[in-house]
Chain A
Amino acid sequence: MPEKTMRDAINEALHQAMEQDDSVFVIGEDVAGCNGSAGDVGSVGGVFGVTSGIYHRWPDRCIDTPISESAIVGAAAGAALVGMRPVAEIMFADFIGVCMDQIVNQMAKFRYMFGGKSRCPAVIRFSAGGGFSAAGQHSQAMYQVMTSFPGLKVVVPSNAYDAKGLMLSAIQDDDPVLFFEPKILYQETAEVPDEMYTIPFGQANFVREGDDVTVVAFGQMVPKAAAVIDALAEEGISCDLIDPRTTSPLDENAILESVEATGRLVIVDEAPPRCGLTADIAGLAADKAFRSLKAPIKQVCAPHSPTPFSPELEAAYLPDAEKITAAIKATLA
């Protein structure tokens, strides 16, 4: 099977969806690029190259916009309400700060407030997460915030294979979907089939299987946790590693069944702790699997601080192998 980067896997999903369905279009800042300039229109393909090549095949369905995030999300929402399947790009998840209303008050609530009589099959893509020394306004995860809004589905892929299948599911989904691409993983490769395939939402992936500890991780923390678990296996510690892949819907059963079997739970996410996914899942386990627990639940996440700029500071900020290892061992102490 061919190896592809996460960037190419998502790009391939977009191409295949647009080939199959002419109601699919992409819209955002520089998704084509160079419009109105001396340069070659379409040669940018998004600042991370995820929409590369689309303009040259479908110029009418690759819509460059001004820097107007509210209008981008609103345009996607409005087009979806009248039957299109837009895939909008918001360059960085942090920019949710300037289009929050269109996401949470508009697209998330249409169907409910309109009495179930509308559908809004829009996908909004974001690059997300830290690791680039991009500081406080270009590094946030944000998916943990958006998970709390009913009406939205929230996807966080951790590898190229999942990213393609989840993107094709997102485009086919009739509800609004927020798709957070951990940008530190764009260049990471995996085996990705050439043909189209989908991965259902709300179905976690068991990345590793073990008996001693349940580890739940999101996005870029999944490969980090996998490396830790592989190292601990040599010490005779075996862990389940669960990647929920979608935070809304969340595969609660997968987590609870694993916790009931292992009795120990570590949750790893790159976002700050308050009202985040680690606390959410700790609460779930405390509520529904308390009697199975043999040790306190451990949460590994960023501190309650903005993402810092300096590489040394960011390295100290993000969860790393050392912190994940310490948390797993603490549950076994």
Chain B
Amino acid sequence: MSIPKETLLNAYRSMKTIREFEERVNAEIMNGQIPGFTHLYTGQEANAVGVCAHLDESDTIISTHRGHGHCIAKGADVSGMMKELFGSSEGLCKGKGGSMHVADIDKGILGANGIVAGGPPISVGSALAAKIRKNGKVAVSFSGDGSVNQGTCFEAMNMAVVLQVPAIFVIENNYYSEHTSINYAVGCDDLKARTEAFGFPVFVADGADFFAVYEAAGKAIAHARAGNGPAGIFAEQGRYHGHFVGDPQAYRAAGELEDLRENHCPLKNFRKRMAETGELSAAELDAIDAEVLAEIDQSVKDAKAAARPTAEQVTEDVYIQYTATA
């Protein structure tokens, strides 16, 4: 499979941006600079980027509580996201949503989502709109291995098949539903087979390998875009951080995290592949690294200097128009 150089450059930049964004967010939370609950995507970058590389702005995604990576991969403004996480009124959502609700409708990002499996039904609605309008758009929902045990996820998958809508279900197995292993929380032995039993094809990829995810996502999205109904992508890759920032991770085996970072790193794998094929040089990738670091650093400086919201903004944007008399 030949991938255009521009796509490769964008993919690496996007994965690196997610990595540095997340690691910096982790540091700023430890410094007490970012309020609220935050869930980091570090380690799973290839999933978001491999899928979103096939989407344009008017295709939609809907994300999860672990949503920063998906939003960055779909083109969310990084500076606006950082301001949002800091709670600034200049944030992407004016400080009303925070980490778990980053969204940018104009870019087809229907939001990170604080409710596990809140997203798949909504994504089916976006896919249904595409089918009614016959516009060739697809709607992608990201779900974790925890999300796929929720009834709403089952409802959405079945309804997508019944209505034959272009919905893509991305299942990211990071092995833990919060603090509980899939060995306990998923009742069957084969999550892929369980998903396929709903009646749509599921394409499997190594979630540490951008090229594998890109290829699987390409098949799934082409299937849906061609009017063949929903499709799934199943990618396994552990997260490098806890369920939330501050999670002591009592569930990890000895050496597990070290092994993940050392032997299951999408960025390292990408660079290794480029060294083998020569499609991108180390110098090109180093240049991207430097630009991304500078961008993230600037985004934190900007977020710290950004305007804070004021009390009168509490009741703004609840409705477009609310005609109640008071």
Q: Determine whether the beta carbon of B105 is less than 8 Å from that of A65.
A: no
A229 and B91 CA atoms in complex are apart in Å by: 55
Interface string of A61-94 (1 = CB under 8 A from B): 1010110101101111111111110100000000
What's the least CB distance linking A266 to chain B, in Å? 21
For chain A, which range describes its interface: under 10, 10 to 19, 20 to 34, or 35 or more residues?
35 or more
Among residues of B, the one whose C-beta sits closest to the C-beta of A80 is: B125
The yes or no answer to A5 lying at the interface (CB within 8 A) is: no
Q: Which of A68, A81, A101 is close to B158, meaning CB atoms less than 8 Å apart?
A: A68
The yes or no answer to A180 lying at the interface (CB within 8 A) is: no
Interface string of B144-179 (1 = CB under 8 A from A): 000000011001101100110000000000000000
The yes or no answer to A251 lying at the interface (CB within 8 A) is: yes
Among the stretches A111-119, A187-195, A302-310, the one at the interface with B is A111-119
Q: Determine whether the beta carbon of B318 is less than 8 Å from that of A83.
A: no
A101 and B92 CA atoms in complex are apart in Å by: 24
Among the stretches B114-122, B238-246, B249-257, B279-287, the one at the interface with A is B114-122
For chain B, which range describes its interface: under 10, 10 to 19, 20 to 34, or 35 or more residues?
35 or more
Could you say which residues of chain A place their CB within 8 Å of the CB of B130?
A: 82
Q: Determine whether the beta carbon of A118 is less than 8 Å from that of B155.
A: no
The yes or no answer to A49 lying at the interface (CB within 8 A) is: no
Among the stretches A102-110, A129-137, A205-213, A273-281, the one at the interface with B is A102-110
The yes or no answer to B31 lying at the interface (CB within 8 A) is: no
Among residues of A, the one whose C-beta sits closest to the C-beta of B123 is: A78
Given the known A-B contacts A81-B110, A102-B152, are A114 and B126 also in contact in the complex, defined by CB atoms under 8 Å? no
The yes or no answer to A200 lying at the interface (CB within 8 A) is: yes
Given the known A-B contacts A75-B124, A113-B93, A113-B101, are A106 and B159 also in contact in the complex, defined by CB atoms under 8 Å? no
Q: Determine whether the beta carbon of B158 is less than 8 Å from that of A82.
A: no
The yes or no answer to B231 lying at the interface (CB within 8 A) is: no
Q: Determine whether the beta carbon of B325 is less than 8 Å from that of A73.
A: no
What's the least CB distance linking A19 to chain B, in Å? 16
Among residues of B, the one whose C-beta sits closest to the C-beta of A254 is: B325
Q: Which of B103, B129, B325 is close to A78, meaning CB atoms less than 8 Å apart?
A: B129
Q: Determine whether the beta carbon of B317 is less than 8 Å from that of A111.
A: yes
Q: Which of A60, A65, A76, A248 is close to B132, meaning CB atoms less than 8 Å apart?
A: A60
The yes or no answer to A260 lying at the interface (CB within 8 A) is: no
The yes or no answer to B319 lying at the interface (CB within 8 A) is: yes
Q: Determine whether the beta carbon of B326 is less than 8 Å from that of A252.
A: yes
Given the known A-B contacts A79-B126, A114-B97, A117-B104, are A175 and B320 also in contact in the complex, defined by CB atoms under 8 Å? yes
The yes or no answer to B111 lying at the interface (CB within 8 A) is: yes
The yes or no answer to B321 lying at the interface (CB within 8 A) is: yes
Among residues of B, the one whose C-beta sits closest to the C-beta of A116 is: B317
Given contacts A101-B152, A114-B105, 12 further A-B contacts (CB under 8 A): A63-B128, A71-B155, A71-B158, A75-B124, A78-B128, A81-B110, A82-B110, A115-B95, A115-B317, A119-B320, A174-B321, A175-B321
B contacts, CB < 8 Å to A: 60, 62, 91-97, 101, 103-106, 110-111, 113-115, 118, 120-130, 132, 139, 151-152, 155-156, 158-159, 162-163, 316-326
In the assembled complex, 10 residue pairs joining A and B whose CB atoms fall closer than 8 Å, in A order, are: A63-B163, A71-B158, A75-B121, A76-B125, A79-B129, A84-B132, A102-B122, A116-B316, A118-B105, A151-B319
